Amino acid sequence: MEKGTFVALKAFLKITLITGVFCCFFSKHIHARAKAYLHSSKRPYLKPTTPDPKLKVGGYLRLDTFFDTRQTGGSHDGSGVFLPLPPRYDSNHCDIYTRGRFGMTPSVSSLNLTLLPMDAGNAKIDGYGEIDFVGNYDLTIGMPKLRLAMIQAQWPKVSVLAGLYYHPLTPEGCQPSTVGYHGGVPPASYGRVPQITTTWLSDHISIAGTIHSQYLPLTSDGPLGPDESYTHNSMTPAVSVSLEWRNKQSMSCNVLFGMGVDMTRLLPALAVTTTATVSPKMSATNAEIMSFIGTLYSTLNIGDYTIMSQVMFGQNGNYPLLNLGGYAVRCLNPETGLRTYTNTNCLSAWVDFEWHKDKKMMPGFYMGIGKTTGSQHPLYLNPTTGNPIFYGVSREADKAFRLCPRIISVFGHMALGFEMDYLKVWYGTMDRCGRHPGACPVSNLRFLVVTQYNF
């Protein structure tokens, strides 16, 4: 070792030893001085301007026990069924998916945190956060997944909400009350998106404007599979506007009517590649797709009865709304790989009824139907497969019908739910018009029993 290096190492060890001895003798004094400084008036920007928030912890422990008559598509643990799988035939022309299945899953259990309303000047601030354990992907089943996380400020005539919350076209006051985790999807729509929503309030009418993006796992489909990059790379947020009318609150009858429209812009790819040339060629692209969806919905509470309904129509109803339809390649240049896109349209309607006179026995049912209605422009057909290049929940699904009668019983903190979930989907080959001529039905019947403890 060189002499200079040895001297430097010796000096470093001396300094370390002296510092350690100093800290041992004066650590309590240093800690007290530091704590006093952190809470002194010299740092007013660290002091809260309102009283400490009051938080409330809640949630539920839940076990879903189910039996299906057919293989289904949805969450990996079986908690949510979105579609019965289309036929897949073996060498003897036997459908391998006709086999049923049985399972039990606790992953829908939930934990929530509520920020109780607190005053901040003329506004009241509250918040809410919720997680479940369904996971974002198959490999994360049983791991915490963020469902909701929002903060809201309310003034007498205006409120502002920021965070992860329900999609503006699936308002909290008008969602199917199904026992199953599916929420009526499809034909109903469901989504949670990060958003900023400003609502103007009056006695009976509220008008809301929202800018929002997408968040895993409810993201649009595209060349990379479901991913939030398609909306991020468009460099513009999705925009929603909704209008609601409510009657004066009464004990006998409460009515809500609403309508809304949503515009989403996607950039499916930053670059495309073609192999039609001698060597692969990559080309940058800015081809975008813009989609519009409109909805009408209502909630009617008459005495012990609640009736909810919604009609939705528009373009590209896939993620984050989990409905039928999507978008496809309209034109493709084989020499450069450059392409344009067009929407496939969809229409859906549903109704939900519940009688809740006695919490020990609350019967109800959900019924809905959805249909793809084709595309405005002819679709490009892949010369190898003869099929369109389609992005959405399912290229083969033409229409869906769902009927879910249920009974819910609540005994104190305990709740039991029973549901028969009948889901029928017509599958066919998509043609150049985005339609499915000759579609054939496939159905699944699920028997579901849910045991839940609320806390």
Give yes or no: residues 289 and 212 share one domain. yes
Give yes or no: residues 316 and 185 share one domain. yes
Query: What is the 3 state secondary structure string of 62-101?
Result: EEEEEEECCCEEECCCCCCEEEECCCCECCCCCEHHHCCE
Give yes or no: residues 213 and 278 share one domain. yes
In a domain, 79, yes or no: no
CA distance 5 to 421: 77
**Which sign, positive or negative, has the C-alpha torsion 390, 396, 399, 402?**
negative
CA distance 341 to 194: 26
Give yes or no: residues 7 and 115 share one domain. no
In a domain, 304, yes or no: yes
The residues of the chain scoring below 70 in pLDDT are 1-52, 250-251, 275-278, 319-320
In a domain, 436, yes or no: no
pLDDT of residue 37: 46
DSSP letters for 310-346:
EEEEEE---TTS--S-EEEEEEE-TTT--EEEEEEEE
Question: Which of these, 137, 116, 141, lies nearest to 57 by C-alpha position?
Answer: 116
pLDDT of residue 46: 45
Residue 249 DSSP code: P
Give yes or no: residues 40 and 113 share one domain. no
Q: How many CB atoms lie within 10 A of CB 27?
A: 10
CA distance 273 to 335: 9
Q: Is 32 helix (H, G, I), strand (E, B) or coil?
A: helix
In a domain, 455, yes or no: no
- In this prediction the pTM is 0.85
In a domain, 385, yes or no: yes
Give yes or no: residues 358 and 288 share one domain. yes
Q: How many CB atoms lie within 10 A of CB 154?
A: 17
Domain that holds residue 8: 1-47
Give yes or no: residues 17 and 141 share one domain. no
Residue 43 DSSP code: -
**Which sign, positive or negative, has the C-alpha torsion 190, 192, 195, 201?**
positive
Number of structural domains found in the chain: 2
Phi-psi category of 164—alpha, beta or left, where left has phi over 0 and alpha has psi -120 to 50?
Answer: beta
CA distance 11 to 7: 6
Q: Is 298 helix (H, G, I), strand (E, B) or coil?
A: strand
Of 366, 393, 420, which residue constitutes the final position of a domain?
393
Residue 380 DSSP code: P
Q: How many CB atoms lie within 10 A of CB 235?
A: 9
Phi first, then psi, for residue 206 (nearest 5°) are -130, 140
CA distance 400 to 122: 49
Give yes or no: residues 222 and 315 share one domain. yes
pLDDT of residue 19: 57
C-alpha 152: how far from chain center: 19
In a domain, 74, yes or no: no
**Which sign, positive or negative, has the C-alpha torsion 301, 302, 307, 309?**
negative
Any idea which residue has 């609502």 for tokens?
199
CA distance 251 to 301: 9
**Which sign, positive or negative, has the C-alpha torsion 35, 41, 42, 46?**
positive
Any idea which residue has 């005539």 for tokens?
157
Of 374, 393, 412, which residue constitutes the final position of a domain?
393
Cis before residue 187, ω within 30 degrees of 0? yes
User: Which amino acid is present at 430?
Assistant: M
Phi first, then psi, for residue 54 (nearest 5°) are -100, 125
Residue 377 DSSP code: S
Give yes or no: residues 347 and 242 share one domain. yes
**H or E element in which residue 229 lies:** helix 229-232
Of 338, 363, 393, which residue constitutes the final position of a domain?
393
Angle at CA of residue 402, ends 294 and 448, nearest 5° = 125
In a domain, 192, yes or no: yes
Residue 345, domain CATH:
2.40.160
CA distance 400 to 172: 23
CB 400 within 8 A of CB 372: no
C-alpha 84: how far from chain center: 20
Q: Is 445 helix (H, G, I), strand (E, B) or coil?
A: strand
In a domain, 95, yes or no: no
pLDDT of residue 431: 94
